[in-house]
Amino acid sequence: MAKKVLILPGDNIGPEIVAEAVKVLQRVDQKYKLDIELDYAHLGGAGLDAEGSPCPAQTLAKARQSDAILLGAVGGPQWDDVERHLRPEKGLLTIRSELDLFGNLRPAIMYPQLAHASSLKPEFVSGLDILIVRELVGGIYFGEPRGIRTLEDGQREGYNTYKYNESEIRRIGKMAFEAAMVRNKRLCSVDKSNVLEATVLWREVISDMAADYPEVELRHMYVDNAAMQLVMNPKQFDVVVTGNMFGDILSDTAAMLTGSIGMLPSASLDKNSGGMYEPCHGSAPDIAGQSIANPLATILSVAMMLRYSLNAPEAANAIEQAVSVVLDNGLRTADIQTEGCKLVGTVEMGDAVVAAL
């Protein structure tokens, strides 16, 4: 039976990088006879402009019927002035939440070829291989009540709610422990339990779960310390599990360690391993339309999609291998450019990966 993949190009550089990732997907489809059927829909600013909503009903309906979703990126200053509930980011949060994509896997892997592109010295980052497991549909991103209200004295107050219940913590904990089991069996749970009750419970539940995974070495870390440790001695980490907001912040940091956020893919999974795949980076309005964006994070997201949702590990490995070959050949987009390498644009980079396949 054909596997349905829904493509959501999104905004700004989104369509540019997605076009390259689609070329790669089509190449492996042909090579490994995967029988993939593509469909397209709008999300983010593109959804708002075309259909009046950052997450149009039609997009959600198609998403529910697909085996996997590939997303570029959403957002940009074009939509700075729209009402909050119509913002492009709201479209992304809605689709994550509607599909219950609670488990966000963000691997930060140092390609040896890029050790010099990192802001840290090569000895700190060479061989780096971290997996951040971020809870994606709860925590302060979604907690109610939330809003901006006017107080009795006339001034306004913004407020949000940070909460996690036990089952929410348990299901992301399970994903993280299981990920650790097939990696180096070290798990670091990040919280702020010296201040926030929601994360006192988080720490308690994760600690309780450790009994089911005796082989996994579990430790806990406050988020401020984790941020420091990530840039001081990143190789101490194997799998990191944390809530939505801390995961958002720490994954950008981890991304930069590897040389460029333009290299980092992600998977957002539901309980049946259906999922949405997207680069960790944003829509980069500053470089949109110039065909200079790095498409590799999106291409590597296709590899994750093949592995986690489409049961095609061979094709996934082939894509990762092809990316490595292209880097070996010295091709670099501007974000990972170093001396002596060949500077290429978005399309050339995509073509080179297809050729390496």
Three-class SS of residue 250?
helix
Per-residue contact track with ligand IPM, 93 to 122, x per CB under 6 A?
x-----------------------------
Integer Rg of the chain from CA = 20
Q: What minimum distance in Å lies between the beta carbon of 351 and ligand IPM?
A: 27
Q: Which helix (H) or strand (E) holds 133?
A: strand 129-135
The Cα 289–Cα 176 span in angstroms is 38
Per the DSSP assignment, residues forming a β-bridge with 276 are 69, 268
Pick from Mg ion, ligand IPM, none: which does 92 bind, CB < 5 to 8 A by kind? ligand IPM
| Minimal distance, residue 217 CB to ligand IPM, in Å | 28
Tell me how far the alpha carbon of residue 275 is from its chain's centroid: 11
Lay out the site mask for ligand IPM across 61-90 (x = CB under 6 A, - = otherwise).
--------------x-------------x-
Residue nearest to ligand IPM (CB): 89
Number of residues that bind ligand IPM (CB under 6 A): 5
Does 248 interact with ligand IPM (rule: CB under 6 A)? yes
Nearest distance in Å: CB 28, ligand IPM? 25
Write down the least CB distance from residue 188 to Mg ion, Å.
19
Residue 158: count other Cβ atoms within 10 Å of its Cβ.
8
> Catalytic: 224?
yes
Choosing from 67, 111, 141, 213, the catalytic residue is 141
Closest CA to 277 of 3, 22, 10, 71: 71
Closer of 16 and 248 to Mg ion (Cβ) = 248
Q: Is 192 a catalytic residue?
A: yes
Residue 81 appears among annotated catalytic residues: no
- The rounded Cα 167 to chain-centroid distance in angstroms is 23
Question: What does the per-residue mask of binding to Mg ion show for 240-259, with x meaning CB under 5 A?
Answer: --------x-----------
Catalytic residue among 248, 277, 308, 335: 248
Distance CA 116, CA 138 (A): 37
CB of 255 to Mg ion, least distance (A): 9
For residue 29, the partner it binds in Mg ion, ligand IPM, none, with Cβ less than 5 to 8 A by kind, is none
Q: Is 153 an active-site residue?
A: no
Nearest to 6 by CA among 53, 49, 48, 55: 55
Class of residue 340 by CB neighbours under 10 A (exposed 0-12, middle 13-18, buried 19+): exposed
Q: Which two tokens stand for residue 205?
A: 């539940």
Annotation marks residue 174 as catalytic: no
List of residues contacting ligand IPM (CB under 6 A)? 75, 89, 92-93, 248
Please give the positions annotated as active site: 141, 192, 224, 248, 252
